[in-house]
Structure 1
Amino acid sequence: MDVHGTVAEGFEPVGEAFAANFDRLGDRGAAVAVYRDGHKVVDLWGGTKDVDGPAPWERGTAQIVRSATKGVAAAVLLLLHQRGELDLDAPVGAYWPEYKTAGKERTRVRDLLAHRAGVPVLERPLTPEQAADSVLGAAAVAAQPPVWEPGTDHGYHAQTYSWLTGELVLRVTGRPIGEWIAREMAEPAGADLWVGLPERETGRAGRVGQTEAPRSAGALRTRPKRSVAEAYADPGSLTRRAFAAISPLPDENDPDYRAAALPASNGIATADGLARFYAALIGEVDGGRRLFTPATMELARAEHSFGPDRVLVVNTRFGLGYMLHGSASPLLGPGSFGHPGRGGALGFADPESGIAFGYVTNGFRTSVTADPRAQALIGAVRASLTSLA
């Protein structure tokens, strides 16, 4: 496999791990980017643009990143708080009156961000076409009774996070969340990422699909605990119902789906765009603007949820909208914060080392969080930092 791009001196292990992902872990097409203290030190890509086609991956190829989009959506709410436009301790209903129904009256904005809102499921799932309609999605989640008392427990809001965050941003700013992300975060940071792919960018986005690792790499694959598999197999479980809030699951290659703004699941980004976004959260990038103040950064990564996740079953750790370093989502170090996309993509920042990381792929796996390809790259970044110390 030909790998293209550049690696700064001292980060050669990342290049070796990236090439090994193709040789040993069966990557079809992928890219990785790493920033250190606001400067790019890794920018690599290889394989094919489409999971099912021969066209080569090029500089600037973008892919859907699934739930890695949630980290981008969370930044919108935190920036609104930073600007004094949103109170994290206020009830969601203070901004969105229709949400004050069925036992959700005391749900705080911070509960929504930390997956403590209690509405990971919809009693009446939405079709992909209905889900793309932000008005219908917001109405559905506003009418939904919570499955636990908001604020008392946590469980991953796999799909409903789209309408919870999107509607709240609309009520506070009067602007759709995808537009806000483009103008207030992506453009200032110079990051190639979109929630609602513009027609002018459709040619950059590759086709994605499900792939499996080679059998020889079986020892490196993530095997979910039996309890997770059993929960997902049970149609009545919160696990299955949370992911099936959109049913049937959307065709992720459908142009209409990609053009919709679903900030829980359908962001499209380059690896550089994802890494550059996280670099801008923790510092200046190439001398440009920093997005989070130090205080907001600490809010993002302060633990708000820990323990058995009522949806994912395993123990999870969440800050305000971000997964934190732990067994469910191993990142670079104890202070890292970010978000994976189910089966592949990952973006995160580690303020202590100044590292920001982005990995995107066109081949999704059955893993939910700790994808072995991304984990191999994280290990290589850690080894590089050790050698440079």
Structure 2
Amino acid sequence: MIVERALDARFESLRDAFAAHFERSDEFRDLGAGLVVYEAGRKVVDLHGGHQDADRRQPWTERTLANIWSASKGVMAVAIAQLVDAGQLDYAAPVARWWPEFAQAGKAAITLDQVMSHRAGLNGFAAPTSPEDLYDWERVTDRLASQAPLWPPGSTASYHGMTYGYLTGELVRRVTGLMPRDYISRHIAQPLQADLFLGVPPDRSDDVAQIVPPHDDLHPIALNAIAVGPTTNPTPDAAAANLPAWRQAQIPAVNIHASADGLARLYGALANAGQLGPTRLLSEAAIAAMVRPRGLPHDEMLGERQWAAGVALNRGGLYGQHDGAFGHSGWGGSFGCADPTSGRGIAYVVNRMGSALNGDPRARKLAQLATSL
């Protein structure tokens, strides 16, 4: 059953498409999901359905939190953009200005711009790294500070799947004195009144959806020597998202937990010139700086992808109908995006992960409808 907490009459076909995902006969059939759209700062769509758990005992509610995987990166992009907006960071400056240890092993010239656009040459770990290491902030950031680039920085873009969160998160810590968990809470989630957490609070543990790992990708992509970095050392394990240690950790590239409304509030502000209700998240100038294209529209791992400063620009219909849209998607199907043309911020969060590495068909369909109706 689909629960409609808000539905502007213009979006009935979007509701029908959302409902149809629970009836699919393939690996993209939804178990539980939420979909929220804000337009010009007003909520116009709020839908959820299905179950939080594979046994179908816990209904999905408006408070359900899902691990949004790499859609987390869009939240970190906003955190960095806020610090640029405040004059505390500078996209064009070397990372080592704020993190002196980062200058080791030939990295002195790597800029914040290169980190944000996946062009820093640090898309994996050189030293042996276990899944448990990912929970140790100091160990991982020290490791990244001391290692040499895996390929020439700035020469190309290749998705920094796991390392992006530590690189950006350590810059947040160096500049503000706050761990990324606390920065996100104070400067993004609380001002927006958004259910969005890097490390789930104990009193929200019952709201966390069980992640159902994806089937094997039916159309796997052959990765070259540059792109392979995020897929080994350690190998990503979707089932890890169900561990208490994962849910409580700070792995900012991949383990933010959000409700559909929580993530949509962030993108609703970005689509509305940076403001949602009384809260100004970013200035219009800061949004313009964040979405300026960096490099060519190609990623060694993801193929056609135009990176800006931590968000992907809309190419190939990834985020709907309009060229000005931008956002970030997560492994398995969750995504958030802003479409300034329509003034809409959109979020879709799921617990049964789809198998496609690039462009979940559920997400694409919803983004197309949400931006065109």
Q: Which residue of 2 is the match for residue 8 of structure 1? A: 8
Asked whether the 8 Å contact 1:282–1:294 carries over to 2, the reply is: no
User: Given residue 303 of structure 1, which amino acid in structure 2 is its aligned partner?
Assistant: P
Q: How does 1:30-179 map to 2 (within 5 A)?
A: 30-179=33-182
Paired with 1:280 and 1:29, the residues of 2 have a C-alpha distance of: 26
Separation of aligned partners in 2, 1:52 and 1:101:
50
Residue 22 of structure 1: how far off its partner (Å): 0.8
Q: Aligned residues: percent identity?
A: 36
State whether residues 178 and 261 of structure 1, in contact with CA within 8 Å, keep that contact through their aligned partners in structure 2: yes
How far does residue 199 in structure 1 lie from its aligned partner after superposition? 1.4
**Which letter does structure 1 place at the counterpart of 2:8?**
A
Q: Is the CA contact (8 Å cut-off) linking 2:6 and 2:43 kept in structure 1?
A: no
Equivalence map 1:1-389=2 (5 Å): 1-24=1-24, 25-211=28-214, 224=219, 228=221, 230-231=222-223, 237-247=225-235, 249=237, 251-283=240-272, 287-312=277-302, 314-327=303-316, 329-384=318-373
**Against the structure 1 CA distance between its residues 29 and 107, is the aligned structure 2 distance closer, same or farther, given a 3 Å change threshold?**
same
Take 1:35 and 1:223, find their aligned partners in 2: how far apart are those partners? 34
TM superposition shift of 1:147: 2.2
The one-letter amino acid of 1:305's match is: G
Shift of 1:330: 4.2
| TM-score normalised per structure 1 | 0.89
Report the alpha carbon displacement of residue 212 of structure 1 after superposing the two structures with TM: 5.3
Q: How many residues of Structure 1 are paired with residues of Structure 2 in the alignment?
A: 368
Distance 1:318 1:328 in 2: 15
Q: In structure 1, what residue type is equivalent to 2:21?
A: N
Q: Distance in 2 between matches of 1:208 and 1:90?
A: 39
**Letter in structure 2 aligned against 1:103:** G
User: Shift of residue 111 of structure 1?
Assistant: 0.9
> 1:217: which partner in 2?
none
Please give the per-residue CA displacement for 1:306-345, whole angstroms capped at 9, x wherever unaligned.
Answer: 3332233x12111100011113834442101110001210
Aligned-pair CA distance for 1:239: 3.4
Alpha-carbon RMSD across the aligned residues, in angstroms, is: 2.0
- Quick check: 21-30 or 67-76, which moved more? 21-30
**Could you tell me how far 1:64 is from its partner in structure 2?**
0.3
Q: Which moved more, 1:50-59 or 1:97-106?
A: 50-59
1:336-355 per-position Cα deviation (integer Å, ceiling 9, x unaligned)? 11100012100010111101
Q: Quote the Cα distance in structure 2 between the aligned partners of 1:349 and 1:310.
A: 25
Q: 1:211 to 1:296 in 2, by over 3 A?
A: same
Structure 1 residue 125, shift from structure 2 partner: 3.9
User: Shift of residue 28 of structure 1?
Assistant: 0.7
Shift of 1:248: 6.1
- Post-superposition CA distance 1:78-116 (Å, at most 9, x none): 100101111221110111111101121100111111111
Q: Which amino acid aligns with 1:357?
A: I
**Secondary structure of the corresponding residue to residue 35 of structure 2:** strand
* CA distance in 1: counterparts of 2:54 and 2:215, whole angstroms: 12
Q: Which amino acid aligns with 1:140?
A: R
CA contact (8 A) 1:33 1:42 kept: yes
Residues 244-253 or 86-95, more deviating: 244-253
Unaligned runs of 5+ in 1: 214-221, 385-389
Task: Indicate the larger mover: 153-162 or 246-255.
Answer: 246-255
Quick one: structure 1 residues 322 and 223, their matched pair in 2 at CA, closer, same or farther if it must change by over 3 Å? farther
Match of 1:219 in 2: none
| SS of residue in 1 equivalent to 2:241 | coil
The 1:276/1:347 distance shift into structure 2, 3 A limit, reads same
Deviation at 1:170, TM superposition (A): 0.7
Quick one: structure 1 residues 142 and 331, their matched pair in 2 at CA, closer, same or farther if it must change by over 3 Å?
farther
User: Post-superposition shift, 1:286?
Assistant: 5.5
Shifted more, 7-16 versus 50-59: the winner is 50-59
Partners of 1:282 and 1:290 within 8 A in 2: no
Q: 1:239 to 1:152 in 2, by over 3 A?
A: closer
Q: 8 Å contact 1:242–1:311 — kept in the other structure?
A: no
Q: CA 1:197–1:332 in structure 2 vs 1: closer, same or farther (change >3 Å)?
A: farther
Structure 2 unaligned segments of length 5 or more: list them. Answer: none
- TM-aligned CA distance change 1:23 to 1:36, over 3 Å: same
| Contact kept in structure 2, 1:159 and 1:243, CA below 8 Å | no
CA-to-aligned-CA distance 1:110-157 (integer Å, 9 cap, x gap): 111111111101122422221111101101111221122222321100
SS of alignment partner, residue 357 of structure 1 = strand
Compared CA separation, residues 286 and 106, structure 1 to 2 (3 A): closer
Closer/same/farther in 2, CA of residues 83 and 245 from structure 1, 3 Å limit = farther
For 2:178 and 2:35, the matched residues in 1 are separated by: 32
